[in-house]
A and B are shown apart, each in its own frame.
Chain A
């Protein structure tokens, strides 16, 4: 009986380590039936203290976005060049007219823009606890209106499955997983059907 109770207690402990994965907070503003076939990801504003956090998350997010079949994404170099030409600072919010010009030059139907709310990596000798919170929005280039917004806040610990397994130990991997979750919310089928 004691052995059974011990095993039951151990099982309960193991189960308690399994953390449920909450879905990110999504808000659809316009009907999601609008299909965007080509988008540009605008520079992300880094509100955290993580050095070069904006560029890191930008590149990881774009890298994950390329996995959506049929979706055309503008090159980071093209976006940056236009920002420079139009004298838009990386932390500035482009005006509606700026978005129209960007959409026309980049030949895109939509934009992704947003900010890094939190980005941190608490490190010890034998542990690393990355934290990342992103707030992104998808904008329809034709109207300048926000189609969807999403807020996703995660810790590496959130992905623990059993014992130390599943825990995300690097900010890169956490950014990849967080980006992937956002992209799956926006493109549930993993593809866009464009001609």
Chain B
């Protein structure tokens, strides 16, 4: 009797174990709506979704009702199909009780010839890892049979064949890979790590000067980690700063970007609650560099997570630049008549935040200003005008230029230039030499002449002679006699170009007026009427 009872008890124990085993290992899956990539962006294919639900269910898996999946999507504001982030996948385990998440996308769908492509993946909710995936594309062209018998000619037929091929590789050992057996502590650790969702990180400013404060503002997406009282620290080099928060979502920490007193350790933060004290381990060395910033989360449970946030740059050096004026020098000063071009080149190229220029006259009055932001233009031009578009007077001016780099370091430079707004002048005198006339040409000012041209015209508009040269003074023996000049009214046109680019045309309507025999009074009276100057810049 005892032996029989023992047998019954043993049988019952085996049945209980088997029963409990079957209950524990019943796997559930949430099939999310299928993303149809063959249509517009973010289109859903509910037909394929239902088809997949049936297929997954046919594998002996409990499929979470569609209404629950939809409610879950609404709760977590899931608007994009075809993918999920790890925290949401893990939430599916908690909220839906799903061991697996099925995500699929229709890659293509055609009616002529009938074709379809599908990619599907199976994700474990315990750690958010994909444990299986498969992709297949199928066209009726590849399924041509003899005499066209049983050739799939509809999307439904292709879909069935396609699904059959995809699910042929369905993993069989899901009981072991679905993550049900994962230990609770291990699971909590994974989830705790995955909940570090930094929505945004802002360093203000991103480029700092030594001694300037840097503020790091963090925004966390999910505050669940902080409901477990995680402490937030910002680590810069060896310094750790406690970040403060008012709402548990925005955290802020402030520190000196780099101390401008080298070789001194600094006390940077203290934690009031547990009395821990953070201190720089080594003295900060003052140098321009990129400083990496790391987020540290400390939970009371002892969990410690670090995550790289980004970096800020310390820049102590002002931008060094050169100013190159494209002008001819008169004496020691670059001179110009019409406009002056100049370029600014940084000795060590770096992004520029802004620039400003000013033109100052000899009395110290600013007559023109300009400014800009961002990169420097290739060249600058001052057209010798004031801000009121008035022509500036002849004189010496200073062109002042200032640039600021991204950290706010600035440097400036000024160069003197000479503005000569008048036309090139030339003086001509005629004299009798050996029975012939000789013209003496010389420059009217100290700007070198680089080219001249003289034409003699008869009254009937016939060109008699031309002469040219590249420098002044010049002597020209005219192949006409004084008698001819006196008798006919010969016209002289003199063109001059100087080294500053200025050009002028001097027209003498009657050359006879320049003869030395004429009285000064007559020449003066006549030349006023006859001589015409043209400025041609």
Contacts and interface: CB of A to CB of B under 8 A. Distances in A.
A63 B112 contact: no
A67 B199 CA distance: 32
Contacts of B142: 167, 169
Contacts of B340: none
A167 B37 CA distance: 23
Indicate the member of B85, B116, B200 with the most A CB atoms within 10 Å. Answer: B85
Given A56-B107, A64-B135, A172-B137, A164 B144 contact: yes
Contacts of A121: 108
Contacts of B85: 75, 77-78, 80-81
Nearest to B295: A104
Interface in B171-208: 196-200
Nearest to A61: B135
B130 to A, nearest CB: 5
B66 interface: no
A147 interface: no
A161 interface: no
B136 A176 contact: yes
Interface string B454-498: 000000000000000000000000000000000000000000000
Interface string B86-116: 1011000000000000000101101011011
Contact of A101 (B129, B134, B199, B308): B308
Interface stretch (B67-75, B117-125, B318-326, B375-383): B117-125
B307 A105 contact: yes
A169 B123 contact: no
Interface size bracket, B side: 35 or more
A126 B123 CA distance: 38
B84 interface: yes
Given A77-B83, A123-B110, A56 B123 contact: no
A164 B142 CA distance: 8
Interface in A105-123: 105, 121, 123
A125 B139 CA distance: 12
Interface in B138-192: 138-139, 141-142, 144
B502 interface: no
B105 A59 contact: yes
Nearest to A124: B113
Contacts of B115: 128, 169-170
B198 A105 contact: yes
A164 B132 CA distance: 31
Given A125-B112, A170-B108, A100 B308 contact: yes
Indicate the member of B117, B130, B139, B307 with the most A CB atoms within 10 Å. Answer: B139
Interface in A91-146: 97, 100-101, 103-105, 121, 123, 125-128
Contact of B83 (A75, A172, A173): A75
Contacts of B130: 66, 73, 75
B360 interface: no
Nearest to A81: B85
A75 B133 contact: no
B119 A77 contact: no
A103 B308 CA distance: 9
A131 to B, nearest CB: 14
B237 interface: no
Given A59-B82, A170-B115, A101 B310 contact: yes
B309 interface: yes
A73 B121 CA distance: 12
Given A100-B308, A105-B307, A128 B107 contact: no
A139 B138 CA distance: 33
B200 A172 contact: no
A55 interface: yes
A167 B199 CA distance: 47
Contacts of B112: 123, 125
A125 B136 CA distance: 22
Nearest to A107: B193
Given A77-B84, A176-B137, 17 more contacts: A56-B107, A62-B121, A66-B130, A66-B132, A66-B133, A75-B128, A76-B82, A77-B89, A78-B86, A80-B83, A80-B85, A123-B112, A170-B116, A171-B117, A172-B136, A172-B137, A175-B135
7 contacts: A76-B83, A77-B88, A80-B80, A81-B85, A168-B137, A169-B113, A171-B107
Rank and list the top 10 A-B pairs by shortest CB-CB distance, nearest first: A172-B117, A172-B137, A170-B137, A173-B137, A77-B85, A169-B139, A104-B308, A76-B83, A63-B133, A172-B107
